[in-house]
Amino acid sequence: MCHNESFFATDQFYASALHVLTAIEIPVHTFGAFIIVARTPKKMSTVKRSMLVLHFVGAFVDLYLSFIATPVLTLPVCAGYPLGFGLVLGIPTAVLVYSGISFVGVMGVSILVFFEDRYHRLANRHGSNGTRNWRRKIYIIFHYILSLVFILPGYQTIPEQTMARIAAQQIIPCLPADVLTRPGFFVLTIDNTIPCLCILFLVVFVVLQIFYFVISISMVLFRTVAKSEVTNRLQRKFFVALCLQVFVPIVVLLGPVLYVALAIWFDYFNQAGTNIALVVMALHGVVSTATMLFVHKPYRDAALLMLRLTSKGTVHDSVLVGRTIGAQSLVL
């Protein structure tokens, strides 16, 4: 059964939805960056840079997917075409696809480096010798390089495009003929095995390390006896907030990612479902910024004050209370 009659299957819906998201993302991400730069209290100064990097990477990936590339995927075949500004600039679809996949990999590595940095600061109490610093730099550089090249094997078997279009039509009989001739239509591969294995490798490799650092940080926080119970409690609360900031947006991605994986696995074509899944994925950055502003009290208070949703006196009182109970510093 074909699923091409729905409005959600059209380029008009897809492009309009992502362009609306772009109009939302730009002010939201700009506001989030301003809050991090201008409203991060001293007790959070050790995470300011890593949070800003994580925020910038997430915001860039958002804008890339919703504005620059705006990729239309024709699952279950690894093929599609762009509707974004990259098409206007004449950027080849193969380059847009490679860049998009790599940027998502960079975002995953940025999350890993974020938790690695937290573990390093907690475990070493800000102290570090030269050897350890070099090892960390090599470790971080290696992972960022990996995020940029992990998909390369999938680009070694790009098929001849005329024959690939014919094969795509055979695999997806419901695929409208005009889709194959749309500007920038590109078939990465007919057999999804190699690209899927490349993506699976990076996901497993990075996620396992993220869990390792999360568990290690938890062990440090819950086993270390600080100078006071208040400091211990605040450190744990802050760590939970950091985890929520990272993992709540990831939960938003689970449904769309599962849909894409199942569509490829079962050779299922539903353009409306694919479009909706990609639109939901594009919400990741906005959800991430909103979560960051909500779970961290200094950011939440500053945001509410700037948006005039609370009084200055209320925020000032909460800051004084926070300084009193957190005098020994929230972040080690």
Query: What pLDDT is attached to residue 279?
Result: 96
Q: 3-class SS at 188? A: strand
The 10s digit of each residue's pLDDT in 53-84 is 999 999 999 999 999 999 999 999 999 999 99
Model pLDDT, residue 177: 87
∠ Cα 270 173 152 (to 5°): 70
Amino acid present at 126? H
Q: What is the pLDDT of residue 42?
A: 86
Q: Which CATH class is domain 14-325?
A: mainly alpha
pLDDT score recorded for residue 95: 97
Q: Which pLDDT band holds residue 309 (cuts at 50, 70, 90)?
A: low
- Report which secondary-structure segment, H or E, holds 247: helix 229-265
Q: How far apart are CA 283 and CA 24, in angstroms?
A: 10
80, β-bridge pairs: 73, 186
Please enumerate in sequence order all residues whose Cβ is within 8 A of that of 203, keeping only pairs 6 or more positions apart, or say none: 108
pLDDT of residue 311: 55
Question: Within a 10 A sphere around the Cβ of 203, how many other Cβ atoms?
Answer: 14
What does the pLDDT read at residue 227? Answer: 55
pLDDT at 312: 58
Residue boundaries of the structural domains of the chain: 14-325
Distance CA 195, CA 151 (A): 7
Q: Per-residue pLDDT averaged across 191-205, rounded?
A: 95
One-letter amino acid identity for 15? A
First and final CA of the chain: distance in angstroms? 58
Q: Determine the Cα–Cα distance for residues 73 and 69; give it in Å rounded to an integer.
A: 11
Q: Average of pLDDT values for 191-196?
A: 92
Confidence (pLDDT) at 221: 85
Which of 86-95, 265-274, 277-286, 307-316 has the least mean pLDDT? Answer: 307-316
Rounded distance between C-alpha atoms, residue 179 and residue 275, angstroms: 14
Higher-scoring residue by pLDDT: 131, 301: 301
Q: According to the model, what pLDDT value does residue 45 have?
A: 84
| 189 φ/ψ angles, rounded to the nearest 5 degrees | -165, 150
**Residue 126 pLDDT class (50, 70, 90 cuts):** low
Both tokens of 159, joined, read 């098929």
pLDDT exceeds 70 at position 318:
no
Q: What is the pLDDT of residue 122?
A: 83
Write the CA distances from 60 to 54, 73, 136, 332, integer angstroms: 10, 20, 25, 30
Report the chain's mean pLDDT, rounded to a whole number: 88
Q: In this model, does residue 101 exceed pLDDT 90?
A: yes
Helical segments of 64-192, H only = 85-89, 93-124, 130-149, 161-171
> What pLDDT sits at residue 2?
63
